[in-house]
Structure 1
Amino acid sequence: MKFSVKKPRILVSCALVALCAAGAANSMAQQNKNRLPEIGTSATSTLSLDKERIYGDAMMRQVRASMPLIQDPVLIEYINHLGNSLVRNAEDVNYQFDFFLVNNKEINAFAFFGGHIGVHSGLLTMADNESELASVLAHEIAHVTQRHLARKLEAQSKTMPWTLAGMVTGVLLALVNPEAGMAALSAANAAGAQAGINYTRSNEKEADRVGMSILVNSGFDPNGAPDFFKKMSAKYRYTSKPPAMLLTHPLPDSRITDSRNRAQAYPSRLLPASLEFELAKARLRARYQGDAKDNITNFKAELKREQFQYREAGEYGLALSYFANEEYSEAEVLLTGLLGKYPNNLFFVDAMTDTYLEQKKYSQALTMLERLNLLMPNNQVVTLNYANSAIYAGEYELATNLLQDFLILNPDHFIAYDLLTEVYRKQEKPSQMHASQAEVYALLGLYPKAIDELHTAYNFASEQTLMKKRIKARIVQFQERENQLKRL
């Protein structure tokens, strides 16, 4: 599914982060009599788990509005499947984890409150195998389960409690935008800054240890971690500007050695290459990097030299490059062969759906997706492609039913609400359209805009309808969410 997010043109400030900071400061002042242990997962003297969830939700809405997220159901499905396969083998899991991809060639990954983990596309394309990628995700999962962000705030507050609010802002910025965050942190005094560095190294050591356990217990090769560390060290050893990941995840030689020693304590696993991983890398290259014509040339050359772990990944990348170059028949030929081998592979299904739609072969797309919808109901790749195909075919009621059912189980799904807004627009249902658009704004943390949309939806709704009652209730909910941050 080729999806383009229609975001409002806004300049996002750190207002939500500041609100989070104020809440953290108040919480610390009320509870600082409880001493934080230096190890373990507790950090309740600074933040409760409930407050972490609230802050994490607020941060995620800001991230959606301000960062170039890859709103791609296929890649979202892949990274969440991989990430949650690791979470299942982690301890002290207090949240439902959410993994997302940022369209950025910088090598970086970060975790923040509430189990939200972001991965830059450049990190995925740099990894040579799935164990390397999994090692980074496991490390970030460990940061969350060990509550390192809350513990860092507690450690900083011991040396400079009067700057806790600014420290929250700086730490969160450092995770999402390392250069800006490090500049904010540099304003702290020298003693506090040194304490922060030491605590970060302690966090990294613990996350490496816990992450290795998660990686091994999930069936991946333990050498994925030291191999990735070694690769990063070699690549950036002599560069004046390190990648974003090394600003927030220092990589001294001792850490690489420790990782290698830790991996040697486990049996090495010679795992076969992952087709899904190879397809994800090919998709990123073909859809988010380079020029379509250049990509066609490169994929053809690499296929000729047999450079792919799976030839299917090269053919898939070539098909996507043909599609991007509007050579739809060539793309269809390749995808037909791939689907013949893997009829339920969602990477291929998604690409074939787009190819059918561009050629106005709506019935073929709907037939293919109807079968898969029975096989995988409410799978985001199948459902969103099915609904999108129904929109193209003018079957708006089908699209509406699919999306409404999907949103019952996935109430914060940005793409689904954006598609539903489009369906209502085509159906000329202004009340429902504005109500759906309000949900899109809310997921970007723009509650005033969301409330304005709901007022417009209310004005279009018929008198004394259930729709009006629902709109009024939703306005109250959005007002309460906005006020909740202010009260913390």
Structure 2
Amino acid sequence: MRRIIAVFTMLLVFVTTGLCPRLPCCARSAWALSVDEEQEIGREFMTQIKGYFSFLEDDFANRYLNGLGRYLLAQVDTQPFPFNFYIIKDPTLNAFAAPGGQIFVFSGLIGALDQVDELAAVICHEIGHVTARHLAQRIEQNKKIGLITMAGILAGALLGGTAAEALIAGSMAAGIQAQLHYSREDERQADQLGYKYMSGSGFDPRGMESTLQKIAKGNWLGSDKIPAYLLTHPSGPERMANLEALLSGYKGHSLSPEAEQFRKVYPLFRTVVMAYSIDHAQAERMFRADLEKDPASPLPQVGLGILALEKRDYPKAIGLMEKALEDGKDYRLPLLTYLGQAYQLSGRDQDAVRTLKESLAEMGENSTALYYLGLSYENLGQYTQSAEIFERLAVSPSARDDVYYHLGIGYGRLNRLAEAHYNFGIYFNRLNQIGKARFHFEKAQELSAGNSALAQKIGLLLQELEKVERH
């Protein structure tokens, strides 16, 4: 009966509005927002929310979340675009999918979830919204107002709170915002897809129910306010009943090796997120209380070690991370990076090189380990090695500005002056110090005789500087 009612509801929407929801298995409807348009809105959306939120930049935490997301995406038949997963440093219980395959999870929600199965449930639900193109359907209805304007309105609709007040102004925007929220039918379909992805991945889909129950309590922050997740993902007895019906057919099965590894490392991931996201005094009290309960646990030591790194108390950070390594064999590889970072920042560059090389040999590409390894090589006067590492980092779109500064240092010490000035120019250009950038690019151009490829790149950058200076 429920299935008949759901089908009837979808047909009624089609008849009364002329719109037909696009299901993942259906052919693309004539009116649906194009993938390119959705990605354009997604890029503008990212620009909007970066003005209001801080993103967690920790390499291990982001690798874990994106690795988990990619593992879950293996269950998706058709992916309309590449997916990316981000952690927002905010205590709100919230997560959402933005246009273009961008999925955001708030640190407050991660702190509330005890098991990786619960986090996987949230991610699978959001993937379900993306693959069903729910936002694309609603954006299409209002596309005439402009994609950039829509990105701001959409950001307010999904974020709520003070960010929404800043991003949404005027009765037209408020009216459109109301149309952008997910419907009960959207939630039903996202839950069905989430259940499918969870079951296929080897995680326990009952995490869908326990997660929703935790969020529905809404008391994690000591507030009577409705959690943001429930404002954008409507819940209620009907949705819980639908979930119970889905889960009633679950018989259970063994975890895959990949899912088992994600489950094993999840407590460390959660600890790292909390250490970087919670107020330092509150986090220290929490980790010390955990350490008193279980002095042999490596997790509170890692949390306290990260806090010590943040406070630049490097000897203390080293002691805590070394102890955590002794007690936490399951977390060895990520802990090597934190320990190597502490060694480098404390001036123990030989120890940093040994530790970070071990981490990279076993863990693979790791931008944090590479960055601090490059700094240690530079401090030790091994400029060929440092330049090689910073070149590897420079190819990333998210490369730190000072990567180019350290490349300039390395090439300068190697007497490769054209490349040194070229990288100093990029560094100052990224800092918007146009005069200094022009000086270094012009010096690089003078010194680049015989290197036509470098001279061509410098010429293009100088042309871009001229455009900036004219405006």
Q: CA deviation at 1:426?
A: 4.2
Name 1:22's counterpart in structure 2. Answer: none
- 1:431 and 2:443 equivalent? no
Q: What is the TM-score when the length of structure 2 is the normalising length?
A: 0.77
Instruction: Please say if 1:384 is aligned against 2:371.
Output: yes
Which deviates the most, 333-342 or 359-368? 333-342
Distance in 1 separating the partners of 2:176 and 2:307: 51
- Residue-pair matches, total: 427
Q: 1:147 aligns with which of 133, 136, 153?
A: 133
Asked if 1:247 corresponds to 2:225, the answer is no
Pair 1:345 & 2:332 matched: yes
Residue 10 (structure 2) aligns with: none
**In the TM superposition, what is the alpha-carbon distance from 1:264 to its structure 2 partner?**
2.5
Q: What's the CA shift string for 1:268-300, capped at 9, x where partnerless?
A: 4697793421112222333332335x6455423
Distance 1:353 1:162 in 2: 51
Deviations 1:204-228 (A, max 9, x none): 2221211221122111111111101
Aligned to 1:211: 194
1:451-479 CA-to-partner distances (Å, cap 9, x unmatched) read 99875653342235533411444688999
Change (3 A) 1:83 1:226: same
The 8 Å contact of residues 93 and 109 in structure 2, kept in 1 or not, is answered as yes
Q: Percent identity?
A: 23
Question: Quick one: distance in 1 between partners of 2:49 and 2:320?
Answer: 37
Alpha-carbon offset, residue 102 of structure 1: 1.2
Alpha-carbon distance in 1 for matches of 2:228, 2:201: 27
Structure 2 counterpart of 1:55: 41
- One-letter code aligned to 1:246: L
1:52 and 1:194 map into 2 onto residues whose CA distance is 19
Contact 2:298 2:325 in 1 (8 A): no
1:462 equivalent among 423, 426, 445: 445
Contact map agreement 2:56 2:276 (CA 8 A) in 1: no
Alpha-carbon shift at residue 137 of structure 1 (Å): 1.1
In structure 2, the partner of 1:265 is 249
How is 1:243-322 mapped onto 2 (pairs within 5 angstroms)? Answer: 243-268=227-252, 274-291=263-280, 295-306=283-294, 311-322=297-308
Q: Which letter does structure 2 place at the counterpart of 1:204?
A: E
Q: Secondary structure at the match of 1:118?
A: strand
The residue identity in structure 2 corresponding to 1:263 is L
- 1:299-334 CA-to-partner distances (Å, cap 9, x unmatched) read 233233249xx9222332233344455554454344
How many Å separate the matches in 2 of 1:389 and 1:353? 10
Which protein shows a greater Rg?
2
Q: Structure 1's 356 and 192: CA in aligned 2 closer, same or farther, altered over 3 A?
A: closer
Structure of greater relative contact order (alpha carbons < 8 Å, 6+ residues apart): 1
Counterpart mapping for 1:78-97 below 5 A? 78-97=64-83
Question: Is the 1:458–1:468 Cα contact (8 Å) retained in structure 2?
Answer: no
Aligned to 1:187: 171
5+ long unaligned stretches in structure 1: 1-34, 442-448, 481-488
Q: Structure 1 residues 55, 459: CA separation in 2 closer, same or farther (over 3 Å shift)?
A: farther
Give the RMSD, CA atoms, in angstroms.
Answer: 3.8
Summarize deviations over 1:389-425 as a string: whole Å, max 9, x none: 43454544423312323454xx32x2x3334134146
SS at match of 1:173: helix
Distance 1:90 1:109 in 2: 20
Question: Residue type matched to 1:267 in 2?
Answer: K
TM-score, normalised by the number of residues in structure 1: 0.74
Change over 3 Å in CA distance of 1:381–1:460 after alignment to 2: same
